[in-house]
Amino acid sequence: MGSSCPPSDDLSVMVLASDLGIDARPFLSKQQDTEIEEQEQEQWHDCAQYLSPDEDFSDLDSLQFFCLQGSDKSGNRIFRLVGKYFPAPVVGGERLKKYIFHKICSELPDGPFCIVYMHTCVQKEDNYPGFTILRWIYEELPSRIKNRLQIMYFIHPGLWSRLAFATVGRFFLSGGLYWKIKYVSRLQYLWNDIKKGEIEIPEFVQNHDNVLEHRPLTDYGIEPDHLHLPEVPNMAYSFGRHDGNWGSREFMR
């Protein structure tokens, strides 16, 4: 019963059993090489747009507020960020973003990296670009660079910085960055993760750390501070910023 098809000399079928142990890598190698090349081209494209040979960053380089240094004990290359060295009133957010991207793309080798941010003696009016700008810069980074950032050491955070990051920071910072922040209240704790000599510590940071060693409550605004901590308002400095609001000397006489 049933129909039967006449044999054909043009039909040939080859069946490969799954248990023959055939190595499929030679068939996939070409495809994998193509994918790797495409990824490399994509990575270069991410950085190429920020490597502008016509852009002059020599003025920012001379400030040394963002520079590549050694490595931590986990093998992460270190970008040192000194907040006090950053002139916020004269550097706009767009140029700051271009500079940071340029430094990362032109100087950072392949592999993981970390950021050591020194918040010591930062004044909001003079050294702080703003929460929104910092978030914008981070979010604009290519995803592959954000994934390579392993940890951010936050040196001398102070009470208000901790409160800000613990409350507002949860909403303004992406989860990836928020959980990478590690607060370091004293330099002695930093040496648990970074060997001495791998990173240069400015003299004012070391002096500030010495003050905190002898007067730890200064960090919380309870004790006076002759070094003008960023977390404690400086009344003399505040008056100096608003001299134009005072009446003339003749009127005050």
Q: What is the pLDDT of residues 30-85, one digit of tens each?
A: 555 544 444 444 444 456 665 666 788 999 999 999 999 999 999 999 999 999 99
Question: What is the β-pairing status of strands 66-71 and 113-118?
Answer: unpaired
Report the C-alpha gap between 142 and 151 in whole angstroms: 17
pTM across the whole model = 0.68
Rg (Cα) of the chain, in Å, rounded? 28
pLDDT for 42: 43
At residue 29, the 3 state secondary structure works out as helix
CATH fold of 48-220 reads: Phosphatidylinositol Transfer Protein Sec14p (3.40.525)
pLDDT for 184: 93
pLDDT for 235: 36
Buried b (16+ CB within 10 A) or exposed e, 71-109: bbeeebbbbbbbbbbbebeebeeeebbbbbbbbbbeeee
pLDDT for 108: 93
pLDDT under 50: residue ranges of the chain? 16-22, 24, 27-28, 34-45, 227-253
